[in-house]
Amino acid sequence: MFELSEKEEILNQINLSSLYEIAKKSALIGNEILKINYNKIQKISSKGRKGDLVTNVDLEVENKIKEYLIEETPNISINAEESGKVNKSSDLTWCIDPLDGTTNYSHGYPFFGTSIGLVYKNKPIIGAISVPYLNELYSACIGHGSFCNDSELKVSSPLNLSDSLLVTGFSYDRFETDDNNYAEFCYLTHKTRGVRRGGAAAVDLAFVASGKVDGYWERGLEVWDLAAGAIIVKEAGGIISDYPSGKFNLSSGRILACSPTLEDELKKELDNVSPFNKNLYT
């Protein structure tokens, strides 16, 4: 994601170790609130699109994390899912997803987490993702590797796509657009050992970094979905790109994350898939 000169600039200008600890603490703030409120939601409402929910817990987590970040790093901008942007004159921005997997959480389905990413000039440099139900904290800092709790992570290395397990998701606009990932899901289900749909993009990316799954692709995502997970996968030795090809762009909302051993084959197969015709099912 960075050229060597850009990495040197970051390492020379930014106190990464301090910010890394702040990111992990932020994710753990979310972790504790999500645990306490699991199966105790008081309010659920829709943001307007089918399936796009927000609960009182999303808001509580986001407020607590923002308070902490503003106190610890008052000069760094914030981009949070529920409350939007707090802009400062800085090249750094915290990207907050207080509850990734809100629909799962609201149903008591234990696949969710809190995601905190720090980006420098729109490129991820630090990430922390807490997964409360598993008691796992995934984290990474540019140039320093990726970790789950205290164990260093490395992506898997399947020899071919047919031996792989993949994960994906479907964006909220899937009801209105043919570019909805249904066709890719079906196609790759027949090309692999299986394709899972977790429902929390940040957790999906953490699982790629840890080797629990071998690859992940999705579209229609937001910066707070991707910022933390992208650097965690990258620092674990994974490949991060647009899909089916092209350089990773945090603002595009599209990502392909996988083991290097799958990169060429997975990109080729994704490029082969014909668009899904939603009119067949409406």
Residues paired with residue 129 on neighbouring β-strands, in sequence order: 115, 138
Residues 139 and 171 in one domain: no
Q: What is the DSSP code (8-state) at residue 183?
A: H
pLDDT digits (tens, 9 = 90+) for 198-256: 999 999 999 999 999 999 999 999 999 999 999 999 999 999 999 878 899 999 999 99
13 pLDDT exceeds 70? no
| Residue 137 and residue 27 share a domain | yes
Does one domain contain both 8 and 138? Answer: yes
- pLDDT exceeds cutoff 60 at 191: yes
Say how far apart CA 132 and CA 146 lie, in whole Å.
18
* pLDDT number for residue 4: 56
CATH of the domain at 43: 3.30.540.10
The model's confidence at residue 276, banded by pLDDT at 50, 70 and 90, is: low
Q: Could you tell me if 148 and 191 lie in one domain? A: no
Q: Which residues pair with 255 in a beta bridge?
A: 218
Kindly state whether residues 107 and 171 are assigned to the same domain.
no
Half-sphere exposure of 226 (CA within 13 A, CB side): 26
Q: Which of 112-126, 141-155, 238-252 has the lowest mean pLDDT?
A: 238-252
For residue 234, give the CATH number of its domain.
Answer: 3.40.190.80
Domain, as residue range, for 261 = 161-281
What are the pLDDT digits (tens) for 19-42?
Answer: 999 999 999 999 999 999 999 999
Q: CA geometry: angle at 184 spanning 183 and 186, to 5°? A: 65
Are 165 and 126 in the same domain?
Answer: no
Same domain, 201 and 93: no
Q: What is the pLDDT of residue 2?
A: 62
Q: How many domains does the chain have?
A: 2
Q: Is the dihedral of CA 83, 109, 126, 23 positive or negative?
A: positive
Q: Are residues 54 and 139 in the same domain?
A: yes
Which of 121, 152, 183 corresponds to the end of one domain?
Answer: 152
Same domain, 147 and 192: no
CA atoms within 13 A on the CB side of 116: 31
Do 113 and 8 belong together in one domain?
yes
**Measured on CA atoms in the order 17, 23, 25, 27, is the torsion positive or negative?**
negative
φ/ψ region of 54 (left if φ > 0, alpha if ψ in -120 to 50, else beta) reads beta
Give dist(CA 2, CA 123) in Å, integer: 8
Residues 145 and 33 grouped into a single domain: yes
* Rounded Cα–Cα distance for residues 138 and 203 (Å): 9
